[in-house]
C-alpha cells in the first residue's frame, strides 16, 4: 500500500510539473517539462549519494577509524541480509543521521558527531537500523527524486511568470501569479506526504532489523528536541536536505517532512509491547521545555 501511495504521489508531482510547462509554453512546454523531469531524475539516480555526502562534508570511516559505529552498522547489515553500506560521519553538534544511495548495493549511511555523543550503543543501533530500513525500502532514491522535482516546480513557476510563452498563449497574469504561489505549495504538500509515509515504514523496518523498537523510540525521544534547535548547515543551505534526516530540523509540525515524533514513538512502543512511551526531551532553547 505504501508503495502504491508513493507511486501515485510521484505521478502527481510529475503531472504538476508538466501542467506548469503547458501553462507557460503550451504543448511544447509540457513536453519540455517532461524531458527535463526525466533528465533530472536520471542525473539524480547516478549522483544523489555524491551530492548529499558532499553537501554535508561527510568523511568516510572504517572499522579502524570508528570501530563502534562501523561495527554497529556491519552487525545490522548482516542481520538484515543486506550489502554492507559505506559509513560516514558528519562533524555537526546536531544529533541526526541519514542514508543515501540509489540502491542497497550502492548505499551509504551517515551519523553526526552529536548523535554519537548522545546515544547508547543500543539506541545508536536503533537509529542506524532505521537508516538501513530506508535503504532496504529504496527510500533514499525516492526522496531525492521527490526533492529534485519539487525544486524544479518552484523554479519553473518563477521562470514561467516572467518568461512564459508569448502571444495569445501567454497565461493571464493573475492566473500566472496564482500558479507561482500555489504550484510550489502543492509540491511541498505532496513531498511531505511521501516523506511522512516513508518515515513510518523505515521505523517499522528499523525495529525489525534491530529487534529492539524501544531502543529506537528512546533514541528519538533523546534527539528530537536538540535536533530541532541546533542548526544544520547543510539544511540551511539546501532545505531539501532536511527530509533525509531521521528527525526534523525545525519545529513546525504542519510544514514538517516528518510525522510528529511523539506519534512515531507511540507506534514503536506498541511494537515493543508497551504503551509507556519515553517523553521527548526538549532542548534548552525550547520555550515549551518542561
Edge-to-edge strands, sheet with 107-112: 59-61, 86-90, 107-112, 97-101
Say if CB 239 and CB 262 are below 8 A apart. no
**Of 66, 123, 131, 199, catalytic:** 131
C-alpha distances in Å from residue 57, one per residue of 22, 196, 232, 234: 39, 26, 12, 9
Q: How deeply is 232 buried, as exposed, middle or buried, from its count of CB atoms within 10 A (0-12, 13-18, 19+)?
A: buried
Q: CA torsion angle for 8, 12, 17, 22 (degrees, to 10)?
A: 120
Closest CA to 203 of 254, 272, 109, 115: 272
Mark whether 131 is an active-site residue: yes
As annotated, the active-site residues are 131
Amino acid at each position: 500500500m505504501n508503495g502504491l501511495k508513493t507511486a501515485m504521489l510521484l505521478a502527481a508531482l510529475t503531472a504538476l510539473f508538466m501542467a506548469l510547462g503547458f501553462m507557460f509554453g503550451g504543448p511544447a512546454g509540457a513536453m519540455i517539462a517532461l524531458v527535463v523531469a526525466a533528465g533530472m531524475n536520471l542525473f539524480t539516480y547516478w549522483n544523489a549519494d555524491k551530492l548529499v555526502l558532499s553537501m554535508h562534508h561527510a568523511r568516510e570511516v572504517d572499522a579502524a577509524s570508528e570501530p563502534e559505529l562501523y561495527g554497529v552498522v556491519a552487525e545490522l547489515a548482516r542481520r538484515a541480509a543486506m550489502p554492507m553500506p559505506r559509513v560516514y560521519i558528519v562533524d555537526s553538534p546536531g544529533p541526526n543521521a541519514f542514508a543515501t544511495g540509489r540502491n542497497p548495493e550502492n548505499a551509504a549511511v551517515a551519523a553526526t558527531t552529536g548523535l554519537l555523543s548522545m546515544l547508547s550503543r543500543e539506541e545508536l543501533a536503533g537509529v542506524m537500523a532505521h537508516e538501513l530500513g530506508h535503504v532496504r525500502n529504496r527510500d533514499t532514491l525516492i526522496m531525492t527524486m521527490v526533492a529534485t522535482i519539487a525544486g524544479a516546480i518552484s523554479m519553473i513557476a518563477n521562470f514561467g511568470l516572467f518568461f512564459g510563452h508569448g502571444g495569445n498563449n501567454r497565461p493571464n497574469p493573475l492566473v500566472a501569479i496564482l500558479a507561482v504561489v500555489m504550484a510550489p505549495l502543492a509540491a511541498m504538500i505532496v513531498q511531505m506526504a511521501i516523506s511522512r509515509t516513508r518515515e513510518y515504514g523505515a521505523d517499522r523496518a528499523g525495529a525489525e532489523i534491530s529487534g529492539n523498537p524501544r531502543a529506537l523510540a528512546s533514541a528519538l525521544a533523546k534527539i528530537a528536541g536538540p535536533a530541532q534547535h541546533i542548526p544544520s548547515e547543510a539544511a540551511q543551505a539546501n532545505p531539501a536536505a532536511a527530509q533525509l534526516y531521521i528527525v526534523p530540523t525545525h519545529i513546525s509540525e504542519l510544514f514538517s517532512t516528518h510525522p510528529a515524533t511523539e506519534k512515531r514513538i507511540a507506534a514503536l512502543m506498541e511494537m515493543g509491547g508497551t504503551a509507556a512511551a519515553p517523553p521527548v526531551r526538549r532542548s534548552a532553547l525550547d520555550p515549551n521545555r518542561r
